[in-house]
Structure 1
Amino acid sequence: MVMADTESCSSRAVGFAPSQRRKQREKIEVYNEVLCRLRDLNIEESTFPAFEDELWAHFSRLPTRYALDVNVERAEDVLMHKRLLSKAREPAGRPAIQVRLVQLRSAMDGSQVESVHMKFAGKADAQCSDYPNKKRVHPPPAFGTSSDLEFVHNAKRVVKDMEVMFSAKPIHYRLMHEITISTNDKPKLLAQLTSLLSELGLNIREAHAFSTTDGYSLDVFVVDGWALEDTEQLRNVLVKEISKVEKLSSVRSHAINHVRELEKTGNKLNSSHVNMPGSGNDVWEIDTSLLKYESKLASCSHGDLYKGTFYGQDVAIKVLRMEHLNENLRREFTQEVNIMRKIQHKNVVQFFGACTTPPNLCIVTEFMSGGSIYDLLHKQKSGFKLPLLLKLAIDVSEGMSYLHQNGIMHRDLKAANLLMDENGVVKIADFGVARVQAQPGVMTAETGTYRWMAPEVIEHKPYDHKADVFSFGVVLWEMLTGKLPYENLTPLQAAVGVVQKGLRPVIPQHTRPKFVELLERCWQQDPSLRPEFSEITNLLEDLASR
């Protein structure tokens, strides 16, 4: 499907260093093939001087998975996605929706290649045509699967001349609707859309969900259950209903912000005075039958972490073990869900939903293919070079600044809870012990991990968000050295040393003075002397620019 022997249509460099990842190379190959196909089709837009850069910007703002999944033989669909995302930038253009009929290919015969899509479709019903040997009059779906590729490769192995084979064996096509939606990205969006489609009587046969780097969504659904001749009516209904959902989300957001403002000023809010729309769990509650488990990533005494898929999107599934469930774990689980469903930032792991009905307690988030900063450090057995360290630290600082601005303390900040996506962006994870801070200095419970814990937390003294700043200072040291803090001490010995002797990790010689100064400010004994994350971000950016 991607270009191999042909000359690139673009002037973009396609040479790669050995260290560059295979997926990034494939992304550029897909970009080049789409560009070539658009020009071969004489699409006027593709001849404009700035088009190459605009098309590459489109691929760059979407995850690599988009390029790997999209059907390059339908290059026009990439252009359609680009236009919808552009339209979604304008408030008047949201939601940007395209609805069309698509043809899905069934098996060539009973003994050869299975239908790619019939595994979703089941038996044909009155709303879906199923007919043999009819010339394709509608396009295929925008996104293929590995099964699509297997179909083509198997066909080529059977006979070189595809047309001879197609004339010899009946090909069955099935008509369904493909719905493409672009709007502002937000927490719970995928759950909201799937719930809405279900309420409209649509059966989702395929789903592909993408988030852009600048805060927009591109969600594609292949559905049946709607009269084939009423495509325009379906689009009109979707525009109306999704607009309602977005207005409801806006009202909810204003209500939440109002509550936070009251909390910041110390005012109490009688819950009977404000009825926040949709504040129940129906929007983000996940049906666990829709989750597909692929592999176990990690285990601990009270649960397991899996890689899986949800409507075709890679996800991480955190499952609680019921046999170890106690009141403390239940409280942590509830707190993590309550916090994650309210937040969204490019440097915080995205929450998709949760199942809160025993015995299937789980939390579903985006899958971070790059693993944790801790794992990366210990694989290379050394710290990061300063330019990379500063880039990663800025990501963490911006994420923490967002959390603190929204009154949330993480309380367990360490390299193991910082995850990296496929593009090298760091995101903060694991909100099991995080808390919403109503007033400064009211928390006294010891929580977190001793080696990263602020002295006031270890001593059970009142503490505030500056405890996270102390932990961040230890994380900076981790990334600088690649070592475990106080590696020659037990966690308890380290805690006693931090409180009673002012113990801090040893900063390597020849570390840049400004960086040393930042470390020492972050782990000041007096919390009031530690900087805010907004200031930390500015200091890191200044260091990175030198």
Structure 2
Amino acid sequence: MKGHEKSKFKKESSWTKFFDHAGGRVNAVEAADEFSVDMSKLFWLRFAHGAHSRLYHGVYKDEPVAVKIIRAPDDDENGTLAARLKNQYDREVTLLSRLHHPNVIKFVAACKKQPVYCVITEYLSEGSLRAYLHKLKHKSLPLQRLIATALDIARGMEYIHSQGVIHRDLKPENVLIDQEFHLKIADFGIACEEAYCDSLADDPGTYRWMAPEMIKKKSYGRRVDVYSFGLILWEMVAGTIPYEEMNPIQAAFAVVNKKIVVFAEFETCYPSDCHPAMRALIEQCWSLHPEKRPEFWQIVKVLEQFESSLACDGTLNLVKNPTCQDHKKGLLHWIQKLGPVHPSSSPMPKPKFT
């Protein structure tokens, strides 16, 4: 074994050694559903990593899975980071075990053996939306694919919000794609139940996709996810990452302090063939005023209308013989006609975090 390979092996084993290779303990959320599994069969190949996590390919019950290992660093002297990572693990497992939707990643199992935590989900072979957009090399998505992609994300988020949950870190890296090009929302590590979200908690999202009210640590609601969705839409249309030339702190400063100037700069990046109706939807979603952003169920209705109109006559028009300004007014009027309350909302029990 070569030196660098041996070093890599030791580094990887330091994460997995906490689980017995003869049979690690993997717990479903309900205690009655505990079962044992050979953890050694779960670790095949690391394919992604974060500051305190590693992602592996694996197999569970003969099905391919993704295995996320979370571990606090050894130099966490006062245990603050370890406590935060444990809270994130608990929230993610609690939420994922209760969210069931075609556009939300499927939870499989979880286990913990401090200081290491393990979350097992379905494996989505086509990677993230970020990886897909990167392959396009700054080209925008074809309109039909753009609408289908946006619909998958919006439907997943509509369901998540209907369960009283805010994702808080919606971005292309956290949207995964299966082999049939269906998109699923993933990574609920900093998600929260809307009624209990703490605007002052030290659970940072990602500045480039973060709503200004979150950056300023003001009171916020589920429409912070709509703001992030607007930026994802813009990236798919413009073929470039928001605030690409800025570091995260500069991006946060731009959102909070430059306000409308930043969006004026964004306007110059729209491709010439961006349909005004799609542009109107994007700008409605990223409004600096949360109350002016649509709900996801309304976004789904708009995108479904776009899809129907595109299939029927090749346009996205919501109004007849529109001007650019008519698209903005028409979109607002169309959304308002849908009504203020989700027609199919029901008093489903909200998940409680432990």
TM-score (norm 1): 0.47
**Which deviates further from its counterpart, 303-312 or 315-324?**
315-324
Separation (CA, whole Å) in 2 of partners of 1:492 and 1:394: 31
Aligned to 2:102: 346
Residue 509 of structure 1 and its aligned partner are, at CA, apart by 3.2
Residue 430 of structure 1 and its aligned partner are, at CA, apart by 0.5
Letter in 1 for 2:93: V
Separation (CA, whole Å) in 2 of partners of 1:414 and 1:289: 31
Aligned to 1:402: 159
> 434, 455, 463: which is aligned to 2:212?
455
Separation (CA, whole Å) in 2 of partners of 1:288 and 1:355: 12
Query: Structure 1 residue 541 and structure 2 residue 304: aligned?
Result: yes
Separation (CA, whole Å) in 2 of partners of 1:289 and 1:390: 40
Q: Which runs of 5+ in 1 are unaligned?
A: 1-190, 193-278
- Asked if 1 retains the 8 angstrom alpha-carbon contact of 2:227 and 2:293, the reply is yes
Residue 494 of structure 1 and its aligned partner are, at CA, apart by 1.6
> 471, 474, 488: which is aligned to 2:228?
471
Query: Structure 1 residue 294 and structure 2 residue 44: aligned?
Result: yes
What is the correspondence of 1:405-416 to structure 2 with a 5 Å cutoff? Answer: 405-416=162-173
What is the correspondence of 1:275-354 to structure 2 with a 5 Å cutoff? Answer: 280-283=30-33, 287=37, 289=39, 291-324=41-74, 326-354=82-110
Separation (CA, whole Å) in 2 of partners of 1:466 and 1:394: 17
Aligned to 1:365: 121
> 486, 506, 523: which is aligned to 2:286?
523
Letter in 1 for 2:106: Q
Please give the secondary structure, in 2, of the residue aligned with 1:543.
helix
Structure 2 vs 1, CA of residues 322 and 452 (structure 1 numbering), >3 Å: closer, same or farther?
A: closer
Residue 300 of structure 1 and its aligned partner are, at CA, apart by 2.3
Residue 292 of structure 1 and its aligned partner are, at CA, apart by 2.5
Separation (CA, whole Å) in 1 of partners of 2:73 and 2:199: 30
Aligned to 1:4: none
Please give the secondary structure, in 1, of the residue aligned with 2:141.
coil
Residue 301 of structure 1 and its aligned partner are, at CA, apart by 2.5
- Asked if 1 retains the 8 angstrom alpha-carbon contact of 2:42 and 2:67, the reply is no
Residue 525 of structure 1 and its aligned partner are, at CA, apart by 1.0
- Asked if 2 retains the 8 angstrom alpha-carbon contact of 1:398 and 1:537, the reply is yes
Letter in 2 for 1:402: Y
Q: Identity of counterpart residues, as a percentage?
A: 38
Aligned to 1:106: none
Residue 358 of structure 1 and its aligned partner are, at CA, apart by 2.6
Please give the secondary structure, in 1, of the residue aligned with 2:173.
helix
Residue 458 of structure 1 and its aligned partner are, at CA, apart by 0.5
Query: Structure 1 residue 423 and structure 2 residue 186: aligned?
Result: no
Structure 2 vs 1, CA of residues 317 and 508 (structure 1 numbering), >3 Å: closer, same or farther?
A: same
Give per-residue Cα distances to partners, 1:242-291, cap 9 Å, x unaligned.
xxxxxxxxxxxxxxxxxxxxxxxxxxxxxxxxxxxxx7444267645374
Separation (CA, whole Å) in 1 of partners of 2:307 and 2:199: 35
Separation (CA, whole Å) in 2 of partners of 1:310 and 1:491: 37
Separation (CA, whole Å) in 2 of partners of 1:527 and 1:484: 22
Instruction: Give aligned pairs, total.
Output: 270
Letter in 1 for 2:279: V
Aligned to 1:492: 249
Aligned to 2:352: none
Query: Structure 1 residue 393 and structure 2 residue 143: aligned?
Result: no
Please give the secondary structure, in 2, of the residue aligned with 1:356.
strand
Separation (CA, whole Å) in 2 of partners of 1:487 and 1:386: 23
Please give the secondary structure, in 1, of the residue aligned with 2:252.
helix
Separation (CA, whole Å) in 1 of partners of 2:300 and 2:106: 22
Please give the secondary structure, in 2, of the residue aligned with 1:305.
strand
Give per-residue Cα distances to partners, 1:66-120, cap 9 Å, x unaligned.
xxxxxxxxxxxxxxxxxxxxxxxxxxxxxxxxxxxxxxxxxxxxxxxxxxxxxxx
Query: Structure 1 residue 355 and structure 2 residue 118: aligned?
Result: no
Give per-residue Cα distances to partners, 1:347-396, cap 9 Å, x unaligned.
00000010123355200000000111110111121221110011011000
RCO higher in 1 or 2 (8 Å CA, sep ≥ 6)?
2
- Asked if 2 retains the 8 angstrom alpha-carbon contact of 1:347 and 1:396, the reply is yes
Give per-residue Cα distances to partners, 1:9-56, cap 9 Å, x unaligned.
xxxxxxxxxxxxxxxxxxxxxxxxxxxxxxxxxxxxxxxxxxxxxxxx
Letter in 2 for 1:369: S
**Whose radius of gyration is greater, 1 or 2?**
1
- Asked if 2 retains the 8 angstrom alpha-carbon contact of 1:450 and 1:494, the reply is yes
Structure 2 vs 1, CA of residues 498 and 286 (structure 1 numbering), >3 Å: closer, same or farther?
A: farther
Give per-residue Cα distances to partners, 1:161-185, cap 9 Å, x unaligned.
xxxxxxxxxxxxxxxxxxxxxxxxx
- Asked if 1 retains the 8 angstrom alpha-carbon contact of 2:103 and 2:184, the reply is yes
Separation (CA, whole Å) in 1 of partners of 2:239 and 2:200: 31
